[in-house]
Amino acid sequence: MKRINCRRCIHYFVTWEKDKPHGCKAYGFKAQQIPSIVVFQSSGSDCNLFKAKPLAK
SS (H, E, C) 1-57: CCCCCHHHECCEEECCCCCCCEEECCCCEEECCCHHHHHHHHHCCCCCCCCECCCCC
CA distance linking residue 1 with residue 6, whole number of Å: 14
Give residue-wise pLDDT tens across range 33-44: 999 999 999 999
Tell me what the mean pLDDT of segment 10-30 comes to. 96
The yes-or-no verdict on residue 3 having pLDDT over 90 is: no
Mean pLDDT of 46-57: 89
pTM equals 0.85
- Residues 1-29: what's their mean pLDDT? 93
